[in-house]
Chains A and B, each alone.
Chain A
């Protein structure tokens, strides 16, 4: 039996006796992708998180009612759960960390707005909920901005409203405060005010009403199953899984190749080098063992992933892509280890490069969400090509022809790195075995 095969079989047997690390690497992508999908994709669709906020209207006037109404609008309701209540109840809810904060419309708020006098909205933050309280504060600021804009645009009708408020009703004369709450006007006057409001709004309509922000979901290809049942969980899972799987296989390859240094400390590497075999055979035996374990783990990932996603990928293309990626990462790790003097150095160097590649290649954060320059760097990473290939096969339902580019890049990189890394590593080992 060839020494390379013998070394590979020996390492496979050793891995079989201590299977925890490969099993963890097999489980990792599913756990991580599952957690992300659960966090952002549960409930059948992708949704932004909602915040609970208390609205305390101590004013009870016209503007206060407008503010309360605004919170009931469809868009606000998407992000906020508004509880209309009184201040003591709101404070108790904050203490119990049930709400992100409270917006208080103080007495006289409506009159101050109508009089174009400084008006204040009070915000009570929940210090235990950093995000929730910030959302409440931002909402209040936005509301103040809207009111300021409205008072400017509707200056004329507001003036008429003030005049009406000052008159009082036929039954109730105007109070000392002259509040709008007690105001009364005959129908023709109301109609006139309505026409004025309409005219003002039409004048600013084309500036004020186009939405300032469009919320756009990326038009990513969806797996057939996800499209039919609208499962956000499955959509996110399918998108995150390839990146995580690529990272896990990279990590696995790094750990397994590091065994060269462990064997050196153990003395077994030196003993192998005293046997009638070439140092190159010893290194290539280790490379082959790493790839074999990687392929077993990749096959496990394919099996579990296929069951979970009900994916029907081109198995031949998938196997080739796994092989190419494992060749590339094993060769790359071998090359990195050839610059290291010991396992610690090699491990540190590999971890830094591996994490960098994972981030830049889109293993953790989709490239669509990264700055544009990252997209330019990403093709320099192995993760990018693996993710591209895996997504094409698993998500878009592509075949061998569609993954030709990732396959080519990964195979070429793998062959170059394995040959260069293998040669350099055997030289380093011979120097210090």
Chain B
């Protein structure tokens, strides 16, 4: 099991990761979901040993990264966001190098390279220079380079950013296969659908903290099953509070002048009642959005903002 405990990392005054804790079990795909700047990449960089954390523990099957970094790194594979491969080498030469760096050698290395190339669909173009590859092919090779040595823990940092749907689906399928083979997968993304579709468990991250974690069902339960209502217009916070009244069962998630996010809860008819009150109170509203229970809604309820913000 991968165990992260109280991980913290600051860059000057900025606390990029603030006491993050989570676990990833064998065969599980754990998604770190959050907007850009939430601290996902910093977390992954700490886990793969590129950044030294200020505090916290990182353990893989009891092996501590801080105490025995080489033994820890021998068991991990990393797939960075950008394709970190050599354009002037062929796909096969790239994998031979990265597999060798992971500690493989001889016939085992050659066999694993051939398998990995086949798995990402590049066997037929194995000897071509990578600079001739399309973006999607480079991403697939990038993925192969991270898993050629069959790591116990595969760390993927937004591996599908900026690629076409076909290549994206291909990569997601390979990641599922890796997990099915028993590896732990830590996957960061800011695509809600991707996290929803791929991950067994999700940690919602913002401002360096994990706000909530669990399966999709658990997350929905944690934040309530009700709709999320977002209002935009020319109202003030005081005007809104006046309309809601003291006895309202609607929870205010986020409130500022002209913008409010409300959790309508699971009470039947609450949204209709809320709209009636807004109309009766003549609140200057330009736009009303009602969101059914979903990961997007969960994120909105937890952070008060859309993921794309």
Contact = CB atoms under 8 A, between A and B. Distances in A.
Interface of A: 1, 3, 6, 10, 13-14, 17-18, 266-268, 270-278, 430, 433
A267 B101 contact: no
B88 interface: yes
A17 B86 CA distance: 11
Q: Which 8 A-B pairs have the closest CB atoms?
A: A267-B84, A275-B101, A276-B73, A276-B74, A17-B88, A271-B84, A274-B48, A274-B78
B307 interface: no
Contacts of B73: 274-276
Interface string B68-94: 001101101010101111101100010
Given A268-B85, A274-B50, 14 more contacts: A1-B100, A6-B101, A10-B93, A10-B97, A17-B88, A266-B84, A267-B82, A270-B80, A270-B84, A273-B49, A275-B101, A275-B102, A276-B73, A276-B102
7 contacts: A267-B84, A270-B50, A274-B50, A275-B73, A275-B101, A276-B101, A277-B70
Of A266, A273, A274, most B-chain CB atoms within 10 Å: A274
A433 B101 CA distance: 17
B245 interface: no
A298 B84 CA distance: 32
Nearest to A273: B50
B105 interface: yes
A239 to B, nearest CB: 38
A284 B105 CA distance: 21
Nearest to B145: A271
Contacts of A13: 89, 93
Interface of B: 48-50, 52, 70-71, 73-74, 76, 78, 80, 82-86, 88-89, 93, 97-98, 100-103, 105, 129, 145
Contact of A17 (B50, B70, B89): B89
Contacts of A267: 80, 82-84
Contacts of A18: 88
A394 to B, nearest CB: 35
A274 B76 contact: yes
Nearest to A18: B88
Contacts of B80: 267, 270-271
A275 B129 CA distance: 23
Contacts of B98: 271, 275
A268 B102 contact: no
A267 B78 CA distance: 11
Of B49, B52, B71, most A-chain CB atoms within 10 Å: B49
A267 B98 CA distance: 13
A156 B76 CA distance: 107
A274 B145 CA distance: 12
B112 to A, nearest CB: 15
A375 B293 CA distance: 81
B76 to A, nearest CB: 7
B135 to A, nearest CB: 15
Contacts of B129: 17
B89 A6 contact: no
A22 B97 CA distance: 23
B147 to A, nearest CB: 13
A13 B100 CA distance: 15
A10 B82 CA distance: 20
A272 B78 CA distance: 10
B78 A271 contact: yes
Contacts of B74: 276
A6 B83 contact: no
B85 to A, nearest CB: 7
Contacts of B101: 3, 6, 272, 275-277
A274 B76 CA distance: 8
Contacts of B145: 271
A268 B84 contact: yes
B44 to A, nearest CB: 10
B238 to A, nearest CB: 48
B143 to A, nearest CB: 12
A289 B93 CA distance: 17
A14 B83 CA distance: 17
B224 to A, nearest CB: 40
Contacts of B85: 268
B97 A14 contact: no
Of B50, B74, B83, B102, most A-chain CB atoms within 10 Å: B50
B41 to A, nearest CB: 11
A71 B49 CA distance: 82
A316 to B, nearest CB: 34
Contacts of B97: 6, 10
A127 B251 CA distance: 91
A414 to B, nearest CB: 27
Contacts of A17: 88-89, 129
A433 B83 CA distance: 15
Contacts of A274: 48-50, 73, 76, 78
